[in-house]
Amino acid sequence: MRRAHAMPFGASLRADAGARFRLWAPGRDRIDLELVQRAAGTQARAGASIEVAGRVAMTRSPGGWHEADVREATAGSLYRFRLDDGLAVPDPASRFNPLDVHGPSELLDPLDHDWSDGGWTGRPWHEAVVYELHVGAFTPAGTFDAARERLAELALLGITAVELMPVADFPGARNWGYDGVLPYAPDASYGRPEHLKRFVEAAHSLGIMVLLDVVYNHFGPDGNYLHAYAPQFFDPARRTPWGAAIDFDGPSSATVRDFFVHNALFWICEYGFDGLRIDAVHAIEDRSSPDIVESIALALRDGPGRERFVHLVLENDRNEAHYLAREVGDAAVRPRQADAQWNDDIHHALHVLLTGETDGYYADYADTPVERLGRALAEGFVYQGDASAFRDGARRGEPSAHLPPSAFVAFLQTHDQVGNRAFGGRIDAVADPALMPAALACVLLGPQVPLLFMGEEYAASTPFLFFCDFGPELAAAVRDGRREEFGRFQAFRDPAARAAIPDPNAIETFSASKLRWRERDTSPHRERLALVRQLLQVRHALMPMLGRIRHGGRWFVTNGPRDDRPDATLDATPGAALGVRWDVAGRAAEAIALHVNFGARPIEVGTGAAEVAFSHASGPGSAPGRWTLARGGVLLALERGDA
């Protein structure tokens, strides 16, 4: 089975001979296509000496397009575009740039790869157990091939979906991936495109979906040449925190929108990815109807999504529930647009409970963290149009209780929540260890789709720091800017404290972020691994029920030894425990109930005749059908109902 995505951008081999090259450059009158080669004796990925082997004047077509048919071009040919002012630029739709973002692009034949996963149709979203990883830091080698060798271990753990942090070509040899400038080209530091295809293929053979994090709100600061020949890509009146904003609703936006819609389809159709996670949707401004997120969702649903499961996940600080709307049928709850959103509210409430930290956005969860966690687990968003103190009283979010829990991704750690700390510290370094099992149970046993960040399954001690590989001037600006950003926190008011924050551009910062896999076999890491494996085994047994939860649940806080009423007064004073109950469609009185005790004293809860599917730090209570939860205790009860 062979796959290729046809698109109006970039280079494509012709059926007869040669290749066609297309570049949208409305800002230029003349552009030449150059076939190039590495000079003899130069093999370096970046900075290799380039020799021009041939040059062809491209034909200017209506709409700002430049085209050329070159019979001499073959798979493996290196090429670039020469602007009329002499600047040489790579193809913005390059499928591969072997010599980094400033170098030439390589002409590929996507049909060269013969796929072996033709029978794979993916998995329904409620079966997802997501594992987020950074290819470069996941293994010592930091390549697609090395990551592929670890997939079998993830499958045994219970992982059903791997989410790759962005792999689009970025400047230098290391980067989180959010500074990508060539969104169609896998970064060469991880390997070649065929290596990424083998990774996806191997995951599918193990029953694992592969999701890709994509960035559609900005381009990185180094290696983006679009402004030189297609300034229409950007809106000069808008900016994001990371650079110029993409113009999705301007006079020339049709081609800009096509570029990103095709990119989404490209990764799904040509690489076989099972879904995308769109980064920072809140940083995309688009007044069009449909907007770019809706357009991408529609293209995926009406295209590859008709033949297999294709999923779309959003990061959206605005908590906009309308992107998560469902079409309710007899057998399933299908998303109209996105399957799910990363739910920061669950993380923030858990973080406050585990650490007591209340700086920054955690202030919005500081007063009643158990109550806020309950609302997040039961209804999705904590802030559903409520005023946010952190945002100076501005209202945030939309009602979400009508949505199924699978519309939300729950997590205790992600690349952001770890890496955006000054020293990249993981949650175990600052959390109350007695409460960690309860927090993990909230994430892994609740009906939301759970996500683990690489190494979290064994409580990795390695940090995940912010790292990059920019040139000297930009590197200094990034280092100093990051340190100054932390100056607003009390712990970093002293310049000496800020100076201790690791330099993102230092190779040592990247090296320190790599996982040490041998830790898994030592205490306390092996005990954490065993707990996570046990929790995921329970979750897998629950999956048929999870797929039949149609809407949010009910939650309550208990403060005394016998107060387990569903209508108990909400009170998050110290000692509070949380109960959440989700009804399951299809059978009378079928439900899942999760009880966790974050308080200092034991709490007794009622389970009636329900089946106890999991318990930790808990035991039989004062009477049949009652259980006592110690501090950090967990109880998962199943009401099976009548057939």
Domain harbouring 557, CATH code: 2.60.40.1180
Burial class (CB in 10 A: 0-12, 13-18, 19+), 432: middle
- Cβ atoms of 277 and 314 closer than 8 Å: yes
Same domain for 107 and 14: yes
DSSP letter string, 245-282: EE-SSSTTHHHHHHHHHHHHHHHHHTS---EEEES-GG
- In tens, the pLDDT along 276-318 reads 999 999 999 999 999 999 999 999 999 999 999 999 999 999 9
pLDDT at 640: 80
Confidence of residue 488 (pLDDT cuts 50, 70, 90): confident
pLDDT at 328: 72
Residue 543 has pLDDT above 60, yes or no: yes
Confidence of residue 521 (pLDDT cuts 50, 70, 90): very high
Residue 562 has pLDDT above 80, yes or no: no
Confidence of residue 589 (pLDDT cuts 50, 70, 90): confident
Same domain for 573 and 483: no
- In tens, the pLDDT along 591-621 reads 999 999 999 889 888 888 889 999 999 988 8
pLDDT at 622: 86
Strand pairing partners for 65?
24, 61
Residue 224 has pLDDT above 70, yes or no: yes
Domain of 82, in residue numbers: 10-112
Same domain for 94 and 15: yes
Rounded Cα–Cα distance for residues 112 and 1 (Å): 10
Q: Is residue 257 part of a domain?
A: no
- Catalytic residue chosen out of the listed positions 315, 339, 344, 583: 315
pLDDT at 44: 53
Residue 332 has pLDDT above 70, yes or no: no
Q: Is residue 452 part of a domain?
A: no
Same domain for 554 and 492: no
Same domain for 104 and 16: yes
Last residue in a domain, options 80, 112, 144: 112
Last residue in a domain, options 112, 138, 163: 112
Rounded Cα–Cα distance for residues 26 and 255 (Å): 11
- In tens, the pLDDT along 491-506 reads 899 999 999 999 999 9
Same domain for 556 and 478: no
Structure-token pair, residue 420: 């955006």
Scored b (16 or more CB within 10 A) or e, 301-320 reads bebbbeeebbbbbbbbbebb
Q: How far is CA 213 from the centre of its chain?
A: 5
Confidence of residue 334 (pLDDT cuts 50, 70, 90): confident
Pick the range with the lowest mean pLDDT from 331-345, 398-412, 565-579. Answer: 565-579
Strand pairing partners for 618?
629
Scored b (16 or more CB within 10 A) or e, 244-267 reads bbbbbbbebbebbbebbbbbbbbb
Q: Is residue 283 part of a domain?
A: no
Q: What percent of the chain has pLDDT over 90?
A: 86
* Residue with tokens 């949505």, as numbered in its chain: 403
- Cβ atoms of 10 and 95 closer than 8 Å: yes
Rounded Cα–Cα distance for residues 48 and 80 (Å): 14
- Catalytic residue chosen out of the listed positions 279, 345, 364, 379: 279
Strand pairing partners for 19?
13, 70
Q: What percent of the chain has pLDDT over 70?
A: 95
Confidence of residue 330 (pLDDT cuts 50, 70, 90): very low
Task: Find the mean pLDDT for residues 519-523.
Answer: 97
Pick the range with the lowest mean pLDDT from 420-429, 440-449, 619-628. Answer: 619-628
pLDDT at 187: 99
- In tens, the pLDDT along 351-393 reads 999 999 998 899 999 999 999 999 999 999 999 999 999 999 9
| 315 in catalytic set | yes
Average pLDDT, the chain: 93
Last residue in a domain, options 79, 112, 145: 112
- In tens, the pLDDT along 30-86 reads 999 999 998 765 555 555 689 999 999 999 999 999 999 999 999 999 999 999 999
| 521 in catalytic set | no
- In tens, the pLDDT along 410-435 reads 999 999 999 999 999 999 999 999 99
Confidence of residue 574 (pLDDT cuts 50, 70, 90): very low
Domain harbouring 74, CATH code: 2.60.40.10
Residue 243 has pLDDT above 80, yes or no: yes
Strand pairing partners for 582?
592
Q: Is residue 615 part of a domain?
A: yes
Same domain for 582 and 495: no
Query: How many domains are there within the chain?
Result: 3
- In tens, the pLDDT along 109-154 reads 999 999 999 999 999 999 999 999 999 999 999 999 999 999 999 9
Residue 329 has pLDDT above 80, yes or no: no
Q: Is residue 437 part of a domain?
A: no
Task: Find the mean pLDDT for residues 454-472.
Answer: 98
- The model's pTM is 0.96
